[in-house]
């Protein structure tokens, strides 16, 4: 039977920290490590994690829109079957000139994730030659997952709204009152949203 190494997260974290001095390594919880890196260090880090630390499974690749800082955050979630640990490699890229390099040479399934991010966020992945139309058809204008895309306005402008739902109210105020909670400060400006 394989013996359980209790300090495996700490060992991996120190190893990553020793190799990549500028990386910000946090142990989020049991078997989960978060690594924040400069964006030019992502390809060497992923290659190192895959080939040396045996993180050979790309579980997910996604993007977070930080419109306030004018940045996109790319999140690679990689997993090691040998160690049983998840590593979240995060990096920030510029939002105006959204460009990054492909990781298709490391994991072939990254191509599909990149196609999705290209379509939904408008990020261009250099080296990926299949960034063509994927899920949306005939889409014009800014990509729909960007936070400056006004979904409600787009939906009311383009699709016919049947009358009868004009009084659709935000129920959060009532729900928070019943549960004696408070709406957080950042969510207050989105709380009143109704059909026009």
Partner 1 sequence: MIYDKSSGKIVDIIKNYARKHSLWIVAYGTGCGAIELPPTMTSRYDAERFGIRGSATPRQADVLLITGYLAVKTLKRVIRTYEQMQDPKYVIGFGSCTINGGMYWDSYNTVKALDRYLPVDVYINGCMPRPEAVISGFIELQKLIEAGKANGAKKYKENLDWYRENQRKVIKNWKMPDYNW
The residue among 130 and 193 lying less far from partner 1, judged by its C-beta, is: 193
Size of the site for partner 1 (CB under 8 A): 20
Contact code string over 121-150 relative to partner 1, x by CB under 8 A? --------------xxxx-x---x----x-
* Tokens matching residue 61: 């690749």
Q: Which residues of 168-196 are buried (b: 16+ CB within 10 A; e: fewer)?
A: eeeeeeeeeeeeeeeeeeeeeeeeeeeee
Query: Which listed residue (21, 29, 97, 165) binds partner 1 by CB under 8 A?
Result: 165
* Tokens matching residue 138: 């005939």
Q: How far apart are CA 175 and CA 29, in angstroms?
A: 32
The residue among 67 and 168 lying less far from partner 1, judged by its C-beta, is: 168
- The H-or-E segment that residue 142 falls in is none
The residue among 99 and 150 lying less far from partner 1, judged by its C-beta, is: 150
Q: How far apart are CA 129 and CA 53, in angstroms?
A: 29
The residue among 48 and 134 lying less far from partner 1, judged by its C-beta, is: 134
Residues that bind partner 1 (CB under 8 A): 135-138, 140, 144, 149, 151-152, 154-155, 158-162, 164-165, 168, 195
């Amino acid at each position: 039977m394989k013996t359980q190494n209790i300090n495996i997260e700490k060992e991996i974290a120190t190893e990553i920290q020793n190799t990549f001095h500028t990386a910000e390594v946090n142990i989020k919880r049991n078997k989960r490590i978060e690594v924040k890196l400069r964006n030019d260090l992502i390809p060497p880090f992923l290659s190192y994690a895959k080939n040396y630390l045996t993180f050979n499974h790309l579980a997910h690749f996604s993007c977070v829109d930080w419109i306030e800082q004018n940045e996109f955050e790319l999140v690679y979630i990689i997993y090691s079957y040998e160690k049983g640990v998840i590593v979240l490699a995060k990096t920030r890229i510029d939002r105006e000139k959204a460009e990054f390099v492909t990781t298709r040479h490391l994991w072939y399934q990254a191509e599909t994730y990149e196609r999705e991010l290209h379509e939904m966020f408008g990020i261009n992945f250099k080296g990926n030659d299949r960034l063509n139309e994927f899920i949306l058809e005939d889409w014009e204008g800014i990509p729909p997952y960007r936070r400056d895309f006004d979904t409600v306005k787009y939906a009311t402008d383009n699709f016919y709204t049947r009358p009868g739902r004009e009084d659709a109210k935000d129920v959060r105020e009532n729900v928070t009152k019943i549960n004696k909670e408070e709406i957080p400060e950042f969510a207050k400006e989105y709380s009143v949203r109704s059909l026009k």
